[in-house]
Copies of this chain bind each other. A is one copy, B any other.
Amino acid sequence: MSSAIKVLLAEDQGMMRGALSLLLNLEDDIEVVAQVAAGDEIVAAALAARPDVALLDIELPGRSGLDAAAELRERLPECKVLILTTFGRPGYLRRAMEAGARGFLVKDGPVEDLAAAIRRVLDGHRVIDPALAAAALSTGPSPLTPREQDVLNAAADGATVADIAARVHLSESTVRNHLSSAIGKTGTRNRTEAVRTARHNGWL
């Protein structure tokens, strides 16, 4: 093989990262040329290593993999992005596509899928679980406005209205209104349930 496929691997869990890296290197047409554990290291590492494919987790410390994917499209368009995530949330898939990702894998499927997906993506194909795609389409895009997302995020760990207001720099009244609106849009009964379903749909 004159030129192996160069892969960048972004994954925070050490054991997972190490195992995937070893595994991919066993394939004789794939070479892991960079590994990072944090989202804010992705772009710099990619610019240095010039991978053909970037294999990105979404939930990473420092910066979301989706975020990094969007910047990669600008700065290194020849690098194809393949998202590899624990959760097949409809909103994640939608945002991944909007960020220019070429494929979307969940960490459930068999490992064999991984190398195959990398090759298919490099060939210009898209790799998406059909069931997941259907779910994403049926769920529709997020109904939450940016502020509502902010407030829900701030409310996620049990903060009081006063806490949230301080964190987001809003009046308590406004926070209450945004929370109420988010509860309404998610069809739930309180902020905790609202956070739950928003998370479940990948809206946060």
Contacts and interface: CB of A to CB of B under 8 A. Distances in A.
A43 B190 CA distance: 40
> How many copies, total?
2
A158 B107 contact: no
**Size bin of chain A's contact surface:** 20 to 34
Contacts of A194: 158
A98 B91 CA distance: 41
Contact of A16 (B14, B16, B112): B16
Nearest to A105: B15
Given A86-B13, A107-B13, A192 B157 contact: yes
A49 interface: no
A15 B109 contact: yes
A125 B160 CA distance: 47
B15 A111 contact: yes
Interface in A178-204: 188-196
Given A16-B16, A19-B20, A19-B23, A157 B193 contact: yes
Contacts of A109: 14-15
A110 interface: yes
Interface of A: 13-16, 18-20, 22-23, 84, 86, 107-112, 114, 157-158, 160, 188-196
